[in-house]
Amino acid sequence: MKALFIGGSGYLGKELMQRLGYDEVSYLSRNQIKDKNFSRFNWIEGDITKIDNVQDIVKDFDEILYLAGSDSQKDADLFDLNVKGIKNVAAAVKKIDKNQRLVYFSSINVHYGQNEYFRTKRTGEDNASLVKNHLIVRMSFAFGGNEDKFVKMIKDLLGKGVRSFPDGGPICPVHVEDLAKTLKSAASITGAIEANSRDMINFVDCMNIVAKRENMPLVAAKSGFFSRNLGDKISEGGLLDPLMLHRLTLNYYRETSSVMRFVKEPIKFENYVNAGYAP
């Protein structure tokens, strides 16, 4: 099977390219991956928001995985990637009409989150669902691998002296290997799946798991008025983007998660950290 990763040079794309076991993989990105371990993957240079010949690019692939915009927090990027980009790809796949599979990466709280990230993801889902053979992957936060952005964010906050953080719901983070196993098992599913672990920890818990491992001071959870005031200080101080701050305080637990259905023993975040961040 031939797969195209759109936005494949990002963290999640690089992890899944190595783990999903396609016969042939290409990735469309503005930047080529310099790591020699990725030299076996074919780089197609381009910006999905500026490409006119989308149909020519995607026509020879059996599966197209759309990861562009999965991490961006900038309003302009969010609209271009989550609305314009996926709309163009979905239109191209429909026109080719060869039953190609389109996999779109979204978020578990796509229908409840009230900011631009979630609003554009909702529109992205609408466009992806126009393709008959589609899969929408509604994710919690992913961790693991060689360039763990989730742990990097935590270490960055701890290193900048964040010792209090707004309390929030369980984010139930999922290891990238468990996500890959889930995607393989969902190969025949059409529609939407949820991808969270059963690990009922919130973001402050995650911070403290890392803090203990790194012998750093623990972080206190603040709620109510103190939480709102603290959130303003964190975002206005440039420590964390307001959209990301909002995302980190939501509840990502879904008992219908496909990870819990397809993965017998999902990797727990605490075990991963205590094992020394093993990929």
Q: pLDDT truncated to tens, each residue of the chain (279 aa)? A: 999 999 888 899 999 999 999 999 999 998 899 998 899 999 999 888 887 889 999 999 999 999 987 555 566 677 888 888 899 999 999 999 999 999 999 999 999 888 888 999 999 999 999 999 999 999 999 999 988 999 999 999 999 999 999 999 999 999 999 999 999 999 999 999 999 999 999 999 999 999 999 999 999 998 875 666 777 788 878 888 888 999 999 999 999 999 999 999 999 999 999 999 977
Looking at residue 266, the DSSP 8-state letter turns out to be P
Provide the number of structural domains found in the chain: 1
3-state SS class at 226: helix
Residue 74 is predicted with a pLDDT of 62
Q: Is residue 147 part of a domain?
A: no
Q: And the tokens for 198?
A: 């059963």
Residue 116 is predicted with a pLDDT of 87
> Cβ atoms within 10 A of the Cβ of 87, count?
17
Range of the domain at 103: 2-139
Residue 139 is predicted with a pLDDT of 96
Q: Is residue 186 part of a domain?
A: no
The pLDDT tens digits of the residues spanning 3-34 come to 999 988 889 999 999 999 999 999 999 889 99
Residue 81 is predicted with a pLDDT of 80
Q: And the tokens for 218?
A: 């623990």
Helices (H), the chain: 11-19, 54-58, 75-79, 86-96, 116-128, 149-159, 176-185, 203-213, 224-236, 242-248, 258-262, 269-274
Q: Is residue 6 part of a domain?
A: yes
Residue 2 is predicted with a pLDDT of 97
Q: Is residue 272 part of a domain?
A: no
H or E element: which one contains 139? strand 134-139
Looking at residue 47, the DSSP 8-state letter turns out to be -
Looking at residue 133, the DSSP 8-state letter turns out to be S
The pLDDT tens digits of the residues spanning 82-115 come to 888 899 999 999 999 999 999 999 999 999 888 8
Looking at residue 163, the DSSP 8-state letter turns out to be -
Q: How would you label 3-34 residue by residue, b for 16+ Cβ within 10 Å and e otherwise?
A: bbbbbbbbbbbbbbbbbbebeebbbbbeeebe
Q: Is residue 116 part of a domain?
A: yes
How big is the CA angle at 78 (ends 123 and 224), to the nearest 5 degrees? 90
For residue 241, give the nearest of 121, 101, 30, 73 by alpha carbon: 73
d(CA 23, CA 12): 19
d(CA 215, CA 79): 40
Q: Is residue 62 part of a domain?
A: yes
| Global model pTM greater than 0.75 | yes
Q: Is residue 19 part of a domain?
A: yes
Q: Is residue 118 part of a domain?
A: yes
Q: What is the CATH number of the domain that holds 105?
A: 3.40.50.720
